[in-house]
Structure 1
């Protein structure tokens, strides 16, 4: 009789400057039979040294630590021994731009650490943290290595007769870096508005937009209620509501509307909400892009866009940090083209 192989243990390094928090987080994670704590570290320097020595499968890392902080650890580890990192830090104790920078430097995900030292508080997020550790453990280190970024500042000659009115993009885990890569490689005279729904905590969305605005040749901003969409501007969907587009008569101009309607896969922002409204309003005059992310948010919306005649793109498995959302859209028949991340911007330009 064949004996089923037991699942491989996930070896985790826990990093926090609080010895109490290291103990609690370790205890939470080890409640799961698939997770083992290989060691703990008190700052970014020790985290880097122990990663070199122990080669953990996943690192759970606080950002705010004395001397060598979490951002130091993320950058140092990704340069020398790429390892999936989950940021576990209190939103109220860390500058949002630092977390956004850590995510762009290669950290896989962020979990908000409840404020306060009560054990019951930190245990509120135990199921989410365990789930994210398991997902991170499946990410190959090769996907964490960021290639050198180059910006396309050169104008492109576009066909003035293009039928397209808008590009909509959905992204989740690993998406901040993917979105940045695409925008860096779009020309500075891109002729359409771009509207992006990125799963990110509400407190970080403005820092995410501001960082992109400084890096790329296009103007990037957080979208506002009833704002008209202008060509060549990148709008980041706010994270306190779901975002839809509408067409204003008689001008036919597209604008933003916010809704608190709930969607099954994810909310604030819901990628399905954005893409379903795009399918209804723009039909064949839109391009939809679904990037890396866990779960199925965006699959239903991309299918609707595809059925309405829009051109739809999914990021391929090889370059996705997590292939959940693109895979779901592909399996449901909602994708016109599957592309690696480094080809998406050029392909979209070619469509115009």
Structure 2
């Protein structure tokens, strides 16, 4: 539940068009108020003491002091202040955005490509409003709330792992043991807001000889998923790459779905092996790529041999796909609420009893390894 105090936003952008557009949008959104504006990073930092923002919308490329430099200063001096980056759809913009997320930015939106100011403003609002709402409800914005939601009914083991109990009358599914035959031969992950940092934390913990393929849907636009894969590849023992159409699945490779496309599995012509299929099918849950879309296809080919992981993110993408996988004997791991940046994507599957185990972020890699070894 959100308190009467509004979310105070400081808009920082060196371009007057975007500064005005974002300021107007912030002023129009219920529960949010414009704390001020600044046309470069140094001025923004100077204003913090007087305007007391809860969050900054921050352009990456600015004179005097760019967005990454501002983030570094915020992390040192004002770690309680959230940041949403405004980025450009370019290779340089995507690489800088990955660095911004690593420095602690809550999320990012793309500056619209449209030259029409009215349409551009509508697009900014469509992207920005749900992120502002998610921030206010997140653990980062807990100082704005008067109460927190209660956790689902659970029982906790002595080692701190949580096994959820299904809520009566919701998500009636076949027990995993009915179809679970052997160790998993594939791992699939659905993740969104907070995902790059969570993946940076979790994936490097996986051994280089895990001997199964890993397929990930991270909600991101085109270009950004390639930068994410490149960044992760440098840190992981496994090979991490942006998935390509018709490439065969290989063990010890992490495939990230390309932004703006859908990814699924299909059978190879020999009927035995599996290929990745990249499509331009419509969004699901307003997501492209969509975790539901990927999860369903994996359920078709790996009955009783799948580990599915649902992690931090806005919305409910993945819930329907996890129900399919649960009915086909998948082992499902959910990230716990306390370690999620936004407890959206894991919430419904956990409450409906789909998750076999609920663990904090730093235990997910261990649970994945247990399921495949």
TM-score normalized by structure 1?
0.87
- 2:264·2:278 contact (CA, 8 Å) conserved in 1? yes
- 1:105 is matched with 103
Cα distance between partner residues in 1 of 2:236 and 2:355: 27
- 1:202 is matched with 222
Matched residue of 1:179: which SS?
helix
- 2:36 is matched with 39
Aligned equivalent of 1:68, options 65, 68, 72: 65
Q: Does 1:17 align with 2:14?
A: yes
Higher relative contact order (CA 8 A, sep 6+): 2
Aligned equivalent of 1:183, options 203, 210, 229: 203
**Deviation, structure 1 residue 111:** 1.3
**Deviation, structure 1 residue 6:** 7.1
- 2:35·2:52 contact (CA, 8 Å) conserved in 1? no
The C-alpha deviation readout for 1:295-321, integer Å capped at 9, x for no partner, is 110111112111111100111110111
- 1:317 is matched with 337
**Deviation, structure 1 residue 104:** 2.3
Alpha carbons of 1:97 and 1:222: their partners in 2 closer, same or farther (altered >3 Å)?
A: same
**Deviation, structure 1 residue 123:** 1.3
Greater CA drift, 40-49 or 61-70 = 40-49
**Deviation, structure 1 residue 115:** 4.3
Matched residue of 1:284: which SS?
coil
Matched residue of 2:64: which SS?
coil
Alpha carbons of 1:280 and 1:140: their partners in 2 closer, same or farther (altered >3 Å)?
A: same
**Deviation, structure 1 residue 122:** 3.3
Q: Does 1:229 align with 2:249?
A: yes
- 1:85·1:136 contact (CA, 8 Å) conserved in 2? no
Cα distance between partner residues in 2 of 1:18 and 1:323: 34
- 1:156 is matched with none
Greater CA drift, 83-92 or 183-192 = 83-92
Unaligned runs of 5+ in 2: 143-180
Q: Does 1:120 align with 2:114?
A: no
**Deviation, structure 1 residue 134:** 2.0
Aligned equivalent of 1:240, options 260, 281, 305: 260
- 2:286 is matched with 266
The C-alpha deviation readout for 1:100-122, integer Å capped at 9, x for no partner, is 21122221221111247764243
Unaligned runs of 5+ in 1: 144-160
Cα distance between partner residues in 1 of 2:283 and 2:260: 14
Alpha carbons of 1:295 and 1:48: their partners in 2 closer, same or farther (altered >3 Å)?
A: same
Alpha carbons of 1:55 and 1:252: their partners in 2 closer, same or farther (altered >3 Å)?
A: farther
Matched residue of 1:297: which SS?
coil
Matched residue of 1:76: which SS?
helix
**Deviation, structure 1 residue 68:** 1.1
Cα distance between partner residues in 2 of 1:323 and 1:122: 29
Cα distance between partner residues in 2 of 1:115 and 1:248: 38
Alpha carbons of 1:187 and 1:80: their partners in 2 closer, same or farther (altered >3 Å)?
A: farther
- 1:28 is matched with 25
The C-alpha deviation readout for 1:49-79, integer Å capped at 9, x for no partner, is 4345544222111111012111112232133
Cα distance between partner residues in 2 of 1:341 and 1:243: 25
**Deviation, structure 1 residue 37:** 1.2
Matched residue of 1:64: which SS?
coil
Cα distance between partner residues in 1 of 2:127 and 2:241: 30
* 1:273-284 matches, cutoff 5 A: 273-284=293-304
- 2:334·2:355 contact (CA, 8 Å) conserved in 1? yes
Alpha carbons of 1:70 and 1:196: their partners in 2 closer, same or farther (altered >3 Å)?
A: same
The C-alpha deviation readout for 1:138-197, integer Å capped at 9, x for no partner, is 223399xxxxxxxxxxxxxxxxx9632110001111111111211111112221111111
